[in-house]
Amino acid sequence: MKRLFSSLILAAVFAGLALAQSSVSPDGTEIMKKVLSQSNWKDMSGDLVLTLTTSRHETRIRNMKFYSKKKSENESMMLIKIIAPADVRGTAFLTIEHQNRDDDRYLYLPALRRVKKITASGKGGNFMSSDFTYYDIGKPKLNDWKYKRLADETVEGHKCFVVEASAATPKITKDTGYSKIIRWIRKDTFTTCKAVFFDREGKKWKTLSVPEVQKFNGVWFSTVMIMHDLQLDHTSKMTFKGLKINTGVPGKFFTVRYLQRG
């Protein structure tokens, strides 16, 4: 009887521990894992409008086509091609994600008729002359950053987790241009609705706002993103239109050979 009583006490203790663990609020790393793991799609395509606005409110518009395809659960490929205006038509960007090493990034320049590989040290460069970098366009690697959960906040009526990501190594800061990123992540969709980026010296550099997200095949996508360079007072807006999911985008789109065809 005494042994049975002890067993019941132990069972109650372990049950209590399990209940306590299940109710523990997620930390910064767990939140970012959830953000990066939305993978209920095989491929997607659509139109992308990139609007660049200077401090004098002068604008330039780039019309693009984009295609993306999953390689594996945690890896994907993306191709973006400019179709207008005429002076930059044919410029294209290809990124191929790798889970355990640096992603491959390639830029096709029609004026030179050649493909340029973007090295790891160049991923902080400006994507298509915008305020987004080549690193911003792809999916961040979880282990590039050390995460700290800050106090929750409400943004535009949305309850948000707030996660501070600090570069895990000096090389990450050197390659991306960022020493720290603070993200406001919606609890209902696990998408970023706001972010602040800090430069290599730790000064506030850029802000990102995401005024629109849409749900496709059970997955939430950011369909409007606005990046503002606080230091240059320059703004870039990405608007995704006509998004199509799982239509069978060919794998040949995501090769250097296809990129070279312009």
Domain-embedded: residue 19: no
Report pLDDT for 37.
Answer: 79
Domain-embedded: residue 161: yes
Residue among 134, 50, 47, 147 nearest 97 (CA): 134
Whole-number percent of the chain with pLDDT over 90 = 64
Report pLDDT for 215.
Answer: 87
Domain-embedded: residue 11: no
* Extended beta strands in the chain, E state: 43-53, 59-72, 75-84, 92-96, 104-109, 114-118, 145-155, 158-167, 180-186, 192-198, 204-216, 219-229, 234-245
> Tell me: the pLDDT tens digits for 94-110?
999 888 888 899 999 98
Judged against a pLDDT cut of 90, whether residue 187 lies above it is answered with: yes
Residue among 184, 213, 214 nearest 196 (CA): 184
Domain-embedded: residue 3: no
Domain-embedded: residue 13: no
> Tell me: the pLDDT tens digits for 146-182?
999 999 999 999 999 999 999 999 999 999 999 999 9
Distance set, CA 38 to CA 1, 28, 198 (Å) = 51, 17, 26
Question: Which structural domain, as residue segments, surrounds residue 182?
Answer: 25-260
Domain-embedded: residue 16: no
Q: Tally the domains of the chain.
A: 1
CATH of the domain at 232: 2.50.20.10
> Tell me: the pLDDT tens digits for 205-226?
999 999 999 988 777 889 999 9
**Residue 209: which residues within 8 A CB-CB, separation 6 or more?**
193, 194, 225, 226, 228
Domain-embedded: residue 105: yes
Domain-embedded: residue 1: no
Query: CA 156, CA 164: separation in Å to the nearest integer?
Result: 20
